[in-house]
Amino acid sequence: MSLHLQRQINRLKDMILALGTLVEENTEAAIRAIETRDAKLAAAVIERDNEIDQKEIDVEEECLHTLALHQPVAFDLRYIVAVLKINNDLERIADLAVNIAEKVEFLIKNRAPTGIPFDLPQMTQKVRAMLKQSLDALVNLDPEIAEVVRRTDDEVDLIHRQMYQHVKQAIRQNPEDVELLVNLLSVSRNLERIADHAVNIAEDVIYMAKGDILRHSRTHVIPKTPQS
C-alpha cells in the first residue's frame, strides 16, 4: 500500500479515536450528572457538544478527501467507509448525552416519587460498558469484543421495556406525576438509544475486520456460550 495512504489511514484512526474518547467522556459526564443531579456538570456536557460536532465534520471531510485522492480498496476501503459511519454514530451518541443532560435541571426540581423502580444504575452501568467496549473493539479492531456489545444490547432493551411498563402503570396510578414520569422515561429511552448506536459501532468494527455486514441479523459471529 502507498505510504501516503497509510499515513492518511493512521491519521483517520487518530481522529476517530479522539472523537470517540471525547464522546465517551461526555456521555459519562451526562450519566454522572443525572445520577448525582449535578446541574453544573450537565451544562458543561451541553457546552462541549459543539466541539464534538466540529470534530465530526472534520472526520467526515478527511474520509471524503482520502476516498477522492487515494481510491482505497479492500481493507482500506472498508476502514474508511466504517469510520464514516462510526463518526455518525458517535455524533448521535453525543446528541443523546445532551438530551440526558437537559433533563437534569427538571429532575433536580422534581424529586422522583417513591415506588418507581427505575433501575438507573444498572442501565447506566451496562450502557457505559457497551460504549467503552465498542470503542475498545474499534481501537483493537477486535470482532470478539464487538460481539459482546451486540449481545449486551438485549439486556438494555429489556430494562427499557420494563421501565416503560412501570411508567405506564405509575401514570395510571398518579396522573399528576405525568411530566416527571415522562422525563424519567425519556432518560431511559436516550440510554437505550445510546446502546443501539454502540451496537452500530460494534457492527461496523466487525465489518472492518471481517467484511461481514451483520446489521438487521441476529447472526452472531462467535457461537454463544451456554451461559449467555
Partner 1 sequence: MTRMTHKMPSKQDQPPTGHAVEGTASAEQPGASPVAIPEPVSNNRLAAIARGENVTSLTHDALKKEVPVVEVKNFNLWYGAKKALFDINMLIPKGKVTALIGPSGCGKSTLLRSVNRLNDLIDNIQIKGDMLLNDDSIYGPGVDVIELRKRMGMVFQKSNPFPMSIFENVVYSLRIDGERNRRTLEDVCERSLRGAALWEEVKDRLHESGLSLSGGQQQRLCIARAIAAEPEVLLMDEPCSALDPIATGKIEDLIQALSGEYSILIVTHNMQQASRSSDFTAFMYLGRVIEYGPTLDIFTKPLCRETEDYVTGRFG
Distance CA 96, CA 89 (A): 11
Q: How far is the CB of 8 from partner 1 (least distance, A)?
A: 10
Neighbours of 10 (CB within 10 A): 10
> Do the beta carbons of residue 97 and residue 22 sit within 8 Å?
no
Q: How far is the CB of 82 from partner 1 (least distance, A)?
A: 21
Among 4, 109, 161, 215, binds partner 1 (CB under 8 A): 4
Closest CB to partner 1 among residues 71, 228:
71
- Binders of partner 1 among residues 107 to 146 (CB under 8 A) are none
Q: How far is the CB of 72 from partner 1 (least distance, A)?
A: 11
Q: Which stretch binds partner 1 (CB under 8 A): 21-29, 61-69, 85-93, 216-224?
A: 61-69
64 binds partner 1 (CB under 8 A): yes
Among 5, 39, 77, 141, binds partner 1 (CB under 8 A): 5
> Do the beta carbons of residue 76 and residue 12 sit within 8 Å?
no
Q: How far is the CB of 62 from partner 1 (least distance, A)?
A: 11
Neighbours of 154 (CB within 10 A): 12
- Binders of partner 1 among residues 65 to 104 (CB under 8 A) are 65, 68-71
Q: How far is the CB of 211 from partner 1 (least distance, A)?
A: 22
Closest among 31, 193, 187, 29 to 106, alpha carbons compared = 187
Neighbours of 18 (CB within 10 A): 13
- Binders of partner 1 among residues 19 to 38 (CB under 8 A) are none
Instruction: Tell me the C-alpha to C-alpha distance, in Å, between residue 10 and each of 15, 21, 35, 42, 45.
Output: 9, 16, 37, 34, 29
Neighbours of 213 (CB within 10 A): 11
Closest CB to partner 1 among residues 8, 27:
8
Q: Which stretch binds partner 1 (CB under 8 A): 2-10, 27-35, 49-57, 175-183?
A: 2-10
Distance CA 182, CA 163 (A): 11
Distance CA 85, CA 91 (A): 10
Q: How far is the CB of 61 from partner 1 (least distance, A)?
A: 9
Q: Which chain residues interact with partner 1 by CB under 8 A?
A: 1-5, 64-65, 68-71
